[in-house]
Every structure is written in structure tokens, then in C-alpha cells.
Amino acid sequence: MSFFGNEKHEDIPFGAGTPRLTQPKSSVFRKLAVAVGLVVVLITGSRFLGAKTRAASFSPSSLLHGDHDLCHQQQPLIPEKNAALWKTLSDTFRTDNFEARAIDWLAGAVKFATESYDNMDPVGVDPRWETFGPLQDYLVSAFPLANSQLSLAKVNTYGLLYEWAGSDPSLKPIVLAAHQDVVPVLPETVSEWTFPPYSGHFDGERIWGRGTADDKSGLIGILAAIESMLEQGFIPTRTVVLAFGFDEEAHGHYGAAELAKAMLDIYGQNAFAFIIDEGGGFGEVYGTTIATPAIAEKGYMDLLVEVASPGGHSSVPPRHTSIGMLARVLVELEDNPYPVEITKDHILYSTLQCYAAHAKSLPEDFRKAIKRSATSKKAMKALNDVIVQEPRFAASVGTTQALDLINGGVKTNALPERASAVINHRISTLEHVSNVKHHATNTVKHLADKYNLTFTAFGDVLTDPSVPKYGDLSLSVAFGKSDLEPAPITPVEGPNAGPYKLLSGTIKAAYRVHREGVAGVALSLDNADNADESASVSSFEDIIVSPGMSTGNTDTKYYWDLTEHILRYNHRNAGSLEKPGTGGVHTVNEFITVDSFLEIIEFFTTLILNADETTSF
């Protein structure tokens, strides 16, 4: 996955510490200064409809602050029709032999430096794409059953579209997505890696290398789960489609975009029950383990600002050169950021409600303030004052702008005839691309008048063309078409929320079975069926599931027409500050613990089996 510059979500990470906020004036909010920098959102809805499930109560400590009116939780969802298979596989995943096999699978994939770069030429033209061929040869040898029993179509040479045909064509297929590419390793940073970035080194606890966390652990986790199920002779009832792009880190133009076209041609619009792609994971927050499948993504736009004026010799300069006027325009834009105002419609607001409902060590003043904001405008305003002060919270709520590129001038003694800059925008889920265009236009129009420039905004000339001008100021969408509306929000409540509820119950089941085994989960569920709510049903804390939001974009930005149920989650355990499960994403020393990777395999296995015996969607 890539960060803001490369069309990628940035879920604010678990275990990333506690951002420091400026102390608010209101005493009610003093403890809010330790608010954690996570983006999660209220989980709503009731028990999963139509799926076979067994109830399990929360342990007493999990009920300490549980307020299910604020943040309702699904019950763990375990396979019933395929219970014996689930147990067999879970027991297998806990063996030393399987652990060694899983390490080899992921380490082998990491050894292929499948880097993708911005502005690469098309496949067949740019030779850098050729690194994906050896990786795909490796996948065939590493997963022989998956590659012999699933059909495979190669899309645009390196896009992989697998189909695991189910026995019941009346059930909508599901899509499990991942990407084969990784963020490039800067040559000058190689010496900073503890182990070489493409070594796949295993140190007894961690697998090291570029892609271990993002996203080859997801790619290999899916294939490992399917290979293991095929080895047990499993035949699915519901068709499973695998969509593996190869340039997610570089906008997905050649990979996911072409895979989307192929899936539309083969399956049709709204043909899938749901899509799971990389996204939120889980970890410890305020003393509580929280999972955050992302149900939305912010929009995107790169704004190109260009100023042109007459050239000439630098010894006779005008009062303002193109570069000087451009600088003034950029300062004006930075001095007039997009407003940040949290409302009850924002995903972050629901996030805070979920904290108030379930986070055991949340400061009580913070908890009370969040709850009071539901009915008090004064409390909501005070809450917003704190949101504005914390960059990560503010970025989640509002539209952001970041000046990332600038260009101008060719020689010290020649006046620059043109100067330009690109400003990256991540658009609030409650706004649109048109809001960004309108804001930028209105913010800088007076400068066109001040410097006597012809002003063109997104194709419209907004100054009098009959009046002679000194130069030109133009605003446009950079790189041809780099604008994207915020993603549709996946339903999490009501009769159309079945896929989200299935995922939520699956997360809880996978979390439990990885820590207790099937026998331990079954005992917990039996105790829950036969005991009052105060009885302890598990030796482990329960996991809280809350939908989250991505501030950037994944490959799913091309998949909107395939289903309204897009869930960005791969059960990656971020752990805590003291014991992280992953690290180094997009930087040096990327790693994933083998325990975290094994849990990813367990999750995908449980997800496929749960979806296979669900008939409500």
C-alpha cells in the first residue's frame, strides 16, 4: 500500500502511540489531550441475519464500559456445515510443520522485487514490469493445487484473475483482492535495513522484507488458505474470485483498472456479494483490542496551478515573475485550508462513540464528553475544537491539501516564462470533487485580478477576454484525470448489511480460534449458551469490531460497479507499542511476525467457510 502520494489508504495505525493535543480550555476535555490517533467508526446493526451462528457473551472485563446502544457488536460467527474442516485446518495451522511452510511461502514471495513506480509506461513497453513474471512462476510452483484446480485468466499480462467455481451458481460470488507490487526500496536506504529488503529473512519471530506487511502477506495468506482447503478436498458452494493487481502502489491504472473491466465483462454489474481487499487491521487501543474494517475511502484530486508571464533577461526583471506570482497563489491556498467541522454524519464521530462504548481505559472525561455531544451543541463545538487541533483527526474529518510538486525556471539569467505546482487533495467523505474546484477557484481569483492575469479555472475563462492581460493563471486537474469522488459507503446496519455483519462475526471468530483453538472457542460458546451474562466465557479479551475509514484509496476505487459491499480488511495484527505485529510499511525494516501471518491465513479460511454456508445474500 502507498501513502498519500500514491493512491493508497492510510488507516491510522494501531499501536502508533498517543498523539499530543493542545490542552483545550474546557476542563471536561483535559484528558482528551491523550486521544489516540486511530480512525475507526461506529459499528451498528444487530445479529447477522440469515447466517448460522452461535451466541457468545463478552467476558466481564469487556462489559465494563460496554454500551451496545452506542456501538453494537456482532456475535462470533463460526462455520457449522464445515465445522469439522474448520477444526482440522485450525489444528493444522497450529503445527510446527505448517508454520515452517507458511514462512517459506511468504519469504519466497518477498524475494521477488516487484516494485511499481509512478508514471510507468504500459506493460510491454516499460521493462520494469517484467519482474512480475518470475513471481507468478513462483506462485504456480508454491501453490500447485490452487493453480491446477482454479481457473486463471491473466489480465493485461500480469493481472491475476482466479475463479474457484462453486457448486451453486445462484449464490453471488465473493472477491478476495490483493496486490503483487510493492513500494520501491530507495537504494540509499538499503544499508539501514537490519536484513536485506528482499531476503525474506526469518529470525525466529519475524519475517523481514519489503512486502511482508504490504501486501504480500495478504496475497500469500489468501492462497495459503485456499491451498490448505484444497488439500482437504473442500469444494465450495459459493464461487470465490481472486483479483490480484500489480500496480496498486502506482495508482492501479494497468492492474486493478483492467481487472475491473474484465470482471464486469465476465460477471456483470453488481454481480458480487462482497469484496475484501487490504485495509484496516486490529490492535490495542485504550486497553481494548479493536478491529477496523474500512467501509469508505476519501476522494482524491491533484490540482495543477500554472502561471505564465513574459520572459526576458533577468537583469531587467518585472516586479513579479511567474515564480513569484505562483508563490503568492500557493501561500493563499495554504492560508485558506478547507474547514474542519465534525458532525454526526462523519465516520470519525461514530469512531468516538465506539470508543466511549467499549474502550476500557478511555479517560472518563473524554467518555462523558463524547456521549454529551450527541445532544449538546456546546459539547459538540468543544469536541470539534479538539479535533481541529489534532492533525490525524482533522485529516479524517475534512478535505486536506498538500503542496507536493513545484517546477519553474531553466536558468539564473532568464526570466521564467512558466511556473507550476501540484497540490494533492484528499476529499472528505461528505464532500465532492466539485467542492475542491469551487474552493480553489474562489480562493485565488482575486490574485488574477491583482496581477492582471487571464484566469482559467477547470476549462472556464473567468476574466474578461477583451481586456489585455500581463499573463495567465490556470487551475486544472493534474495528469489528465487524477480526480476521484469519495467511495460509496458500505452498509453496516439494516437489512442490507449482511456482508458487513458476516465479516464482523468472522473477525471475532478468527481472533478467538487463533488464541484458543476450536475446542476453546466451542467451550466459550457453550458456556455463553448456558450461563448468565456475568459468567466468564473466555480466557481472552474479546475483540471489538468497528468500521473504519481510509483517508486514501486502494485498488477498490475501480470496483465500485461490482458490488455495494466493499470491505477493506485483512486481519493484520498491528499489536501494540510494546509488541508490534507489523512494522516498516513503506519504509526501512518492513516485517510481519509469523504469528500475525498465521492469523491472516486463519482469517481467510474462516471467512471463506462462513461465506460458503450463508444464503441470505
Residues in binding site for Zn(2+)? 179, 214, 249, 277, 586
- Rounded CA gap, 178 and 216, in Å? 8
Residue 276 near residue 607 (C-beta atoms within 8 A) = yes
Closest CA to 70 of 280, 364, 367: 367
**What DSSP string describes 170-218?**
TSPPEEEEEE--BPPPPGGGGGG-SS-TTS--B-SSEEESTTTTTTHHH
Pairing of strands 240-245, 582-583: unpaired
Distance CA 394, CA 21 (A): 12
- Report helix, strand or coil for 501: helix
Give the integer Cα–Cα distance in Å for 153 and 157. Answer: 9
Annotated binding site: 179, 214, 249, 277, 586
What CA–CA distance (Å, rounded) separates 299 from 293? 18
Q: Which among 11, 181, 555, 590 is annotated as catalytic?
A: 181
Query: Cα dihedral angle (212, 217, 218, 220), rounded to 10 degrees?
Result: 130
Other Cβ atoms less than 10 A from the Cβ of 164: the count is 23
Is residue 485 part of the annotated active site? The answer reads no
How far apart CA 416 and CA 205 sit, in angstroms, is: 56
Kindly give the interhelix angle for 322-334 and 433-450, rounded to the nearest 10 degrees: 130
Rounded Cα distance, 293 and 556, in Å: 14
Would you tell me how many other CB atoms lie within 10 Å of the CB of residue 426? Answer: 26
CA neighbours closer than 13 Å in the CB half-sphere of residue 51? 32
* Measured distance CA(151)–CA(165) in Å, rounded: 8
**Rounded alpha-carbon distances, angstroms, from residue 567 to 72, 233, 493, 556, 559:** 18, 28, 14, 9, 11
Active site residue 248: yes
Asked if 221 and 526 count as a contact pair (C-beta separation under 8 A), the reply is no
Q: Which residue has the cell 523481514?
A: 208
- Type of residue at 478: A
The CB density around residue 408, as the number of other CB atoms within 10 Å, is 18
Measured CA to CA in angstroms, residue 351 lies from 103, 299, 577 at distances of 35, 19, 21
The Cα 114–Cα 102 span in angstroms is: 20
Q: Which of 10, 11, 227, 248 is catalytic?
A: 248
Q: What residues are labeled active site?
A: 181, 248
